Amino acid sequence: MADKPPESPPSAPSKATVFFRRTASTLLLWAIVATALISMRAWAYLGLIGILCTISSIEYFRMLKGAGIRAFSCFGIALCIAYCVAIDQHFLKGGSAIPQGFDTLAIFLAIAGAFTLQLFRPILGKEPLISVATHVLGFIYVPFLFNFAARLVFIRPATADGHVTATGAYLLLWLLAVTKFSDMGAYLTGSAIGRHKMIPHVSPGKTWEGFGGALVFSQLAACGLYALFPNQLSILGSWPHVIMLGLILSILAVIGDLAESIVKRSLGAKDSGKMLPGIGGGLDLIDSVCFTAPALYFYLQWILIPA
């Protein structure tokens, strides 16, 4: 009996198919965000952030396991959930600024816990340091950075009946719009006219033309929303601050996307997960926000609010 010819690998989806899947996933996500925004319920915002945070942490440790890195997955996911719950409880009780020392305690627990668990494993070359380092990175990269989105929503305390303020709700909307318009501008412009590779050893698809599109689209979102909702977004100060923040967040959105590319490329993963067709997993969705949310929070706290 003759051997069967080897099966050819499945062909990659066309650009039109990828664009359709990406658009459908994006519309679904915006529908979910819009539902939370319209409800103005504090638990809806915190629930959405907590769910995305947990899913992304699970994906991160799953990628580590797939690459053969023995990280402390159960402890890392449990610490992520505990961190989110503690922050949620603080905000639901009417808190605003996170108590001093809370984040330091959380990072200490991530480091001390990882080393404690490593005590029960053999010392095999550099493996223990890699396990501890990737565990601590997972906590800081995902739950710590992404929960700055929650801090922005509750930059003004929730009302007594459990609603977020208009300032917090529109600030999150503005952040997500600027960040995702940056991603969308990079994708659309790069797909249409991208010719010059940006950082091919990290992400072969990124081009300088796409980077220019990211800057333009993010400014359209930043300035457009500020013009439409000047009262709700008065915390942003004035037009110079809006333009400056649009530029800063756009650059950080690109860096955040490339940062996850470094993680995935190092671990041999194409996407962090398959939750969202055309986009990937939860971490593929929030990677840019993990960089833009802290930047916006610190800009407000150190430059705008004190003034």
Element holding 203 (H helix, E strand): strand 203-207
pLDDT, average across residues 115-127: 92
Query: Under a CB-based contact definition with an 8 Å cutoff, are residues 36 and 50 in contact?
Result: no
Q: Identity (one letter) of the amino acid at 301?
A: Q
**Measured between alpha carbons, how far is 281 from 272 in angstroms, rounded to an integer?**
5
Check: CB of residue 152 under 8 Å from CB of residue 172: yes
Q: Please choose, from the candidates 298, 189, 304, the residue with its C-alpha nearest in 3D space to the C-alpha of residue 252.
A: 298
Q: 13-27, 66-80, 139-153, 242-256: which has the minimum mean pLDDT?
A: 13-27
Tell me the per-residue pLDDT of 252-281, one tens digit each, with 9 for 90 and over: 999 999 999 999 999 988 877 776 665 677
Angle of the 239-267 helix axis to the 289-299 helix axis, nearest 10: 150
- pTM, two decimals, is 0.88
In angstroms, the CA 287 to CA 178 distance is 14
The residue-averaged pLDDT of 153-163 equals: 91
Instruction: Tell me the domain boundaries of the chain.
Output: 16-304
The arithmetic mean of pLDDT across residues 129-148, rounded, is 96
The answer to whether the beta carbons of residues 258 and 203 sit under 8 Å apart is yes
Select from 264, 227, 263 the least CA-distant residue to 242: 227
> Given this model, what pLDDT does residue 3 score?
47
Question: What value does the mean pLDDT take over residues 51-73?
Answer: 92
Residue type (1 letter), 230: P
The Cα-based distances of 145 to 148, 150, 292 in angstroms read: 6, 10, 9
Q: How far apart are CA 202 and CA 241, in angstroms?
A: 32
Q: 83 near 148, Cβ under 8 Å?
A: no
Give per-residue pLDDT as tens, 221-247.
999 999 999 999 999 999 999 999 999
Average pLDDT over residues 112-122: 94
